[in-house]
Amino acid sequence: MAIVDYPAVTISTAASWPDDAEGWTLRSTLRLQSAVKCVSPEMPNAVLTQLFGITNESDGTTLAEETALDLTDHYVKIEVNSARWVGIVTGHTDVRYGGDGSTATGERSFQAYGLEQLLANQPVPGSLVYQGGSSYEIAHILPFNRTHQRGANVFAGNRETTQTDGLWHFVEAGSAWTVKNILEYMFGWFVTGPWGDLGGQIDDLDQIVVEFDPTGMSVYQILNALVSHKRGYCWSVRYGTQVAAPTLYPYICIHGLAGSAIESGDFSFAANPEVGAVALSNNILRDW
């Protein structure tokens, strides 16, 4: 009987987002050093290592040459039992141990971050405007909603009442933008990547109206500002399946922080359906 029952760790990579499970390449030479799963405003991260050069095979007696992998900007998938961590490799560092002739031997450490990193690299390109019966993309970044006067809590909405061609647009005078509208606007228009539909408690955010200027912010920063703990919410990247989508696709999942429903006037905010106990043990990786 084993003293410690370590879980099986499977690591796969892909140069571009795979259309199906066959698009991932199994990397048996990669070793998991650490992986952190979390919700906003923190960023999930992981560290992987690979021995390169003249290395000892698994049988303990055979030497073989292992080429150092170049995985920068590659997607990486880590599976531990039923848990899954998916992210993107942002770079690596090497430690050289020496070498036999021209063969360098050492260890390469890869730094990876969750797919939230894609959103951190995505700026707002401008604004999508509807005017005179036509849709326009302009370079100027418009604020969502405006107050009538300084200090007033009355918003002058600048969102079209109904979507045009499946997208929200700015208009001179219209309806107020809710947080849900703003997220639909960004992910419907300019956010690139393998993203699926917004999920979780996204409908709660259709009751929250804010005045917000996204100038100079990335999509990641906007999400953290709008879906924040002070409003009673957070968000994370989750994975699922849907019709006409890859087997594994990421989507933004909204989580409420309240363990019970909140009713206030005409507003109704649902309880987080995933509230539960967390059991910690000496072997954290095993429970992860």
How confident is the prediction for the chain on average, in pLDDT?
Answer: 87
User: Distances in Å between the alpha carbon of 154 and those of 41, 150, 182, 210?
Assistant: 29, 10, 18, 10
DSSP string, 128-163: EEEETTEEEEESS-PPB-EESSTT---EE--B-SS-
User: Distances in Å between the alpha carbon of 143 and those of 123, 125, 146, 176?
Assistant: 15, 13, 7, 11
Which position has the token pair 């993107």?
A: 88
Q: How far apart are CA 237 and CA 253, in angstroms?
A: 6
pLDDT of residue 152: 54
Q: What is the DSSP letter of 179?
A: H
Q: pTM for the full model?
A: 0.85
Cβ–Cβ < 8 Å for 160, 181: no
* The Cα angle at residue 246 between residues 39 and 256, in degrees rounded to 5: 25
Q: How far apart are CA 6 and CA 282, in angstroms?
A: 12
Which position has the token pair 């036509």?
A: 134
DSSP strand pairing (25-26 vs 75-80)? unpaired
Comparing 70-74, 126-130, 220-224, 266-270, which segment has the lowest mean pLDDT? 266-270
pLDDT digits over 97-147, tens only? 876 556 788 999 999 999 999 999 999 999 999 999 999 999 999 999 986
pLDDT digits over 245-280, tens only? 456 789 999 999 988 888 877 777 888 888 766 665
Q: How far apart are CA 74 and CA 87, in angstroms?
A: 9
- Which band of pLDDT confidence, cut at 50, 70 and 90, is reported for residue 148? low
Q: How far apart are CA 144 and CA 142, in angstroms?
A: 7
Cβ–Cβ < 8 Å for 172, 158: yes
